[in-house]
Structure 1
Amino acid sequence: MAQSTEKPIKQEYTGTDFEVRCCDTNELRNKLETTLYDMAAKNGWPAGYGHVTFSSLIDPEGNYVGLLNGEIVSMISAVNHNDKFAFIGTFMTFDEHQGKGFGTKVFNASIAHCGDRVIGLYAAPHMTEWYKRQGFAQTGTASIYRKQNPEKLPLPEGYNPAYIIPLKDVDFKEVLNFDRRYFPADREKFLHAWLTHPKVTSALVYVKDGVIHGYGALRKCIGDKWCKFGPLFADSLNVAEQLAVAMINALPEGIEYVQFDCLDDNPSVKALAEKLNFPVTPYGGAVLYKNGVPEFDVSGVYAYTSGAFG
């Protein structure tokens, strides 16, 4: 979900010591990465490692910060995946600076950066109406399923380890072709870095008779006590379950939570959660788009890649 708790502007700040900057320098990128890391560690958020690095692979000019006297007080990522599709995430204003317009200013900069592309985002419930006032339309909902103290699971019906292959042993071009069915843009550079990151505990592909039927990754979040699926794409519930079980059963010691974030437009997601015994959390939200709706097959999306990038 987008993380903002943006409140109505009570008294807009008009001082000259506030500015909105694109993180187009290493200094600003490092400053933002450190800020996000410290916030996630302090608050126990299941945030992934390397947000700024990954977003920069998609769009080097896709991160914006609000600076007050040189210090970050608001932030947003707005990555242009291609000339037709963009995604917004990691939108927040620090609590002590709410109500002054600092969040709205970085948000407006991000919208200008995205231009007339279809823009997507996932919003926490309390932010949905705010986004609608900015011209977004709700098209669905998203849910978060989470398991505490995960244990090894029984193997699903039809489980065959010969079909479940490490990503590194599969032609990556074929994985990209499969990914494109379930995501509205090509994302080769980002996806390769995402799936081979050192914090990925498993990245597996389901291949039968030379044809890919699913793939997924499970990666540690900041603090290494939490893991999240993302993505988990499959052309059937059974394939999704086999991949999920294989990754859960290969978890390293010390993982306290496993989570997957999903789009409720895929009716099979709830069935997968029941099979894995993952309860739903109260932290879901809305799926919203501006300037239209992207084309992709949601029926195969069992866990979306990231709340920041789609």
Structure 2
Amino acid sequence: MSDDLVIRNMTRAELDQLVDWAASEGWNPGVHDAALFWATDPDAFIAAELDGALIGGGAITSYCGEFGFMGFFIVRPEFRGRGLGNALWHARRDRLIARLRPGATIGLDGVFAMQDYYARGGFVFSHRNLRFRAEVPDRRPHSPEPSRADEAIVPLDEVPFEDVLAYDRTCFPAAREAFVRGWIRQADGLALGCLRQGRLSGFGVVRRCVEGCKIGPLFADDADAAEALYAPLAAFACGGPLFLDVPENHPAAMALAHRHGMAEVFGCARMYFGPAPGLVHKRIFGITTFELG
């Protein structure tokens, strides 16, 4: 077999294959992730081809050229240990740098075992994002009373979209209008907003995944707003497992996971190539995805 690796853009069908591989790796993608990710940035998906066969791939998502995110890095097990993944990873990093404005930051969530490898590629550790799991009873609990008299939980499509985008921008390093529009309206999902005196004070999305459901993002002004959103989002997953990816650098977010009896099952190191972005970390109770940021 020749080791003449071809690095190229993926086809839409190959992205489906990459998502299937992610499921086999235990990453538990959402049932509509492939379509939503492709709609966000179809040029983000990079294939590694060897002797005419797809052997690996990954995403290099550009958000308006202002911020990049590397994710979905997979090489089929039988092709590992030959330097092919190393070639693919560096090609993806360099292609993403070329897609961004000069000096723009790139983020990634890498498994802990690869942290030193990514550091050698120029990425600096920021914090850990930890995946928590809970078993949701096979019944829908009664809706809890709002934690504040001036607080209301509403379908997110009742909130002006520009307000949702503005709130998201405080928790993410760049505008991502196309992604947010599709993400909050996806099938097999639920998107809710928390209003205080008519002002958006947080929002969250839960979606069906290969196994159970996953909340992401969960953004809120404070623990009360996060709690008010968590309960109805969790109820969407009744009868199965629920997952939430929590930034360890936010004590109130960790406390929410522990308060609901969630158990840590996985984790990634958030790392940045370039300056760490200035985010309102106290609002981030759950990140959106490990794959696109």
AA in 1 matched with 2:74? M
Q: Shift in Å at residue 159 of structure 1?
A: 5.9
> Is the CA contact 2:133–2:263 (under 8 Å) kept in the aligned structure 1?
yes
Supply the distance in 2 between the matched residues of 1:276 and 1:160 (Cα, whole angstroms): 23
Distance in 1 between the 2:94 and 2:23 partners?
31
Select which of 284, 293, 305 maps to 2:276. 293
Match of 1:190 among 179, 184, 192: 179
Cα distance between partner residues in 2 of 1:161 and 1:43: 44
1:84-131 deviations in whole A, cap 9, x for unaligned? 210111101111000122212221221122214211011111110110
2:100 is matched with which residue?
Answer: none
What letter corresponds to residue 22 of structure 1 in structure 2? Answer: N
Counterpart residue identity of residue 277, structure 1: G
**The one of 246, 252, 259 aligned to 2:232:** 246
Q: The residue matched to 1:163 in structure 2 has which SS?
A: strand
Which of the residues 116, 133, 136 maps onto 1:146?
Answer: 133
Structure-2 separation of matches of 1:90 and 1:42? 13
- Choose the corresponding residue for 2:161, options 161, 164, 172: 172
Write 1 or 2 for the structure with the bigger share of strand. Answer: 2
1:113 is matched with 95
Alignment of 1:83-98 (within 5 A): 83-98=65-80
Q: What does the per-residue CA deviation read over 1:124-159, in whole Å, with 9 as the maximum and x for residues that have no partner?
A: 111101101111111111111111244656737726
The 5-angstrom pairing of residues 122-271 of structure 1 reads 122-150=109-137, 152=140, 155=144, 158=147, 163-200=152-189, 202-222=190-210, 225-251=211-237, 255-271=239-255
Counterpart of 2:263? 279
Who is 1:3 aligned against? none
In structure 1, what is the Cα distance between the partners aligned to 2:212 and 2:38?
24
What is the identity, as a one-letter code, of the residue corresponding to 1:74? G
- Asked whether the equivalents of residues 40 and 46 of structure 1 are also in contact (C-alpha less than 8 Å), the reply is yes
User: In structure 2, what residue type is equivalent to 1:49?
Assistant: V
Give 1:161 deviation, angstroms.
Answer: 10
CA gap 1:45/1:137 in 2 versus in 1, 3 angstroms = closer
Deviation, 1:55, is 2.9
Q: What residue identity is the alignment partner of 1:183?
A: F
* Partners of 1:89 and 1:307 within 8 A in 2: yes
1:228-269, Cα deviation, whole Å (9 max, x unpaired):
0011000000110110101122445xx421000021111111
Deviation per residue, 1:150-207 (Å, 9 max, x gap): 465673772669710001222111111111111111111111111111121x210001
User: How many angstroms apart in 2 are the aligned matches of 1:258 and 1:32?
Assistant: 25
Write the distance in 2 (CA, Å) between the matches of 1:118 and 1:43: 28
Instruction: Report the RMSD for the aligned CA atoms in angstroms.
Output: 2.2
Native 8 Å contact 1:33 1:50 kept in 2: no
**Partner of residue 306, structure 1:** 289
- Residue ranges of structure 1 left out of the alignment (5+ in a row): 1-12
